[in-house]
Amino acid sequence: MMPALTLRNVVVALLLLMLFLVPVYAAVIGNNFVLSLFTRIVILAMAATSLNLIMGYGGMVSFGHAAYLGIGGYVVGILAYEGILSGFLQWPLALLVSALIAFVIGLLSLRTRGVYFIMITLAFAQMIYYVGVSLNRYGADDGLTIYRRSQFGDLINLSNKTVFYYLCLVLLLASIYLVWRLVNSRFGMAIQGARSNDRRMHAIGFPTFRYRLTCFVIAGTICGLAGVLLANHTDFISPAVMHWTRSGDLIVMVVLGGMGSLFGPLIGTVAFLALEEWLSGITEYWQIIFGPLLLAIVLFARGGIDGLLAGIRRD
């Protein structure tokens, strides 16, 4: 993992530099929208990073990952609605609930493989989605406006947009670091081993089911944190963030950027959202360009954009 001066590393470094400079840039041109757009990008990149942990490294393709965005968001939203504004209470509780739900879903789902796993995670996410739609007290389908962001006393003020952006960025980098530490540990090796040959890893004494479950719970928790941030960013939470198409978007972001690559999800998220913003500015029919572009990336760039940059085929 020695950083060398490859094209890919240069791009990642430039991207990170750009992300760090976004608030400066926004301040100079006096346009807060850029900051808002990039806050959203950074938060979704965090969700994509967590999905990459199970999908890219663990081979567990979750088609219900957006559910944790909703869970994290709803814990914040519901507590705020009931008058509990302290972030010291909201955040740990949100993470705990995300972890617990991930644990239950993982426990039941990890017996299945491949496409069956994709569909069972979708099933659970759909159930959670419909629970959200039926929460009449908390706005049901209309969602819930969050009037005050999580309060952390004098420690940090989330209502300051620049502060909030940097917090999100730091948490994103922390998640990427966590994923890096995990996949390079014994635990991570076992997870990656179990992806290609579960029986062998099991035979040499790894409790693969427990490892995979742990991995699944960690990913769910990180995504729950992204949900906490998203709710604080949009000051709003609704079942729409948990719709299955949003889980699909997350998968697309990861695959587009490059699966099983540390910075792939970040690259994919930036590319996905920036392309969307850019193309939709050019033509109303932007999806007629965007769609074939995705197809072309699959056909001609194995391993997503990251694979394209690395110039080699990943496996």
Partner 1 sequence: MLLFVEQFLNGLQFGLLLFLLAAGLTLVFGIMDLVNLAHGSFYMLGAYFAATFTALTGSFIGGVVLALAATLLVGMAVEVIAMRRLYRRDHLDHVLATFGLILFFNELVRLIWGPAGMNLTLPSWLNTSVEILPDVQYSMYRLSIIVVALAVAIALYLIVMRTRVGMLIRAGASNREMISALGINIKLLYTFVFGVGAALAGLAGLMQAAILTAQIGMGENILILAFVVIIIGGIGSIRGAFIAAIFVGLIDTVGRAFLPDLLKLALSPAAAATAAPALSSMLIYLVMAIILVVRPAGLFPAPGSR
Partner 2 sequence: MRKTLVAAGALLALAAGPGITSAMAQQKSVKIGFVSTFSGPTAVIGNDMRNSFELALDHIGRKMGGLPVEVVYEDDQQKPEVGKQKTEKLIESDKVDFVVGYIWSNVLLASLKPVVDSKTFLVIANAGPSQVAGELCSPYVFSTSWNNDQTPQAIGHYMNQKGVKSVYLLGPNYAAGKDMLAGVASTFKGKVIGQDLTKWPDQLDFSAELTKVKAAKPDAVFVFYPGAAGVQFLNQYAQAGLKGTIPLYTAFTIDELSLPRQKELALGVPGAQEWVNDLPNETNKKYVADYRAKYKSRPSFYGAQSYDAVGLINSAVVAVKGDLSKKDAMRDEMRKANFKSVRGPFKYGNNHVPIQNFYLQDVVKDGDELVLKTVATIVKDSQDEHHKKCPMKW
Residues of the shown chain interacting with partner 2 in the complex, contacts defined by CB under 8 A: 7, 10-11, 14-15, 18, 25, 29-34, 36-37, 40, 133, 136, 139-143, 145, 147, 234-236, 238, 240-241, 270, 274, 277-278, 280-281, 284, 309
Tell me the two tokens of residue 242. Answer: 């948990």
Determine if 312 is a binding residue for partner 1 (CB under 8 A). Answer: no
Least distance CB 28 / partner 1 (angstroms): 35
Q: For residues 107 and 42, what is the distance between their CA atoms, to the nearest angstrom?
A: 30
By a kind-dependent CB cut-off of 5 to 8 A, residue 277 interacts, out of partner 1, partner 2, none, with partner 2
Can residue 12 be called a binding residue for partner 1 (CB under 8 A)? no
User: 111-120 as b/e, with b when 16 or more CB fall inside 10 Å?
Assistant: eeeeeebbeb
From the list partner 2, partner 1, none, partner contacted by residue 29 (C-beta under 5 to 8 A by kind): partner 2
6, 11, 46: which is closest to 265 by C-alpha? 46
192 near partner 1, rule: CB under 8 A: no
The one among 157, 292, 311, 312 contacting partner 1 by CB under 8 A = 292
Tokens of 102: 């991930």
Evaluate whether 258 touches 304 at the Cβ level (below 8 Å): yes
Of the candidate spans 23-31, 190-198, 202-210, 291-299, the one that interacts with partner 1 by CB under 8 A turns out to be: 291-299
Query: For residue 169, which phi and psi values (nearest 5 degrees)?
Result: -65, -45
In whole angstroms, give the CA distance from residue 185 to residue 84.
38
Q: How many residues bind partner 1 (CB under 8 A)?
A: 44
Smallest distance from the beta carbon of 83 to partner 1, in angstroms? 24
Encoded amino acid at 303, one letter: G
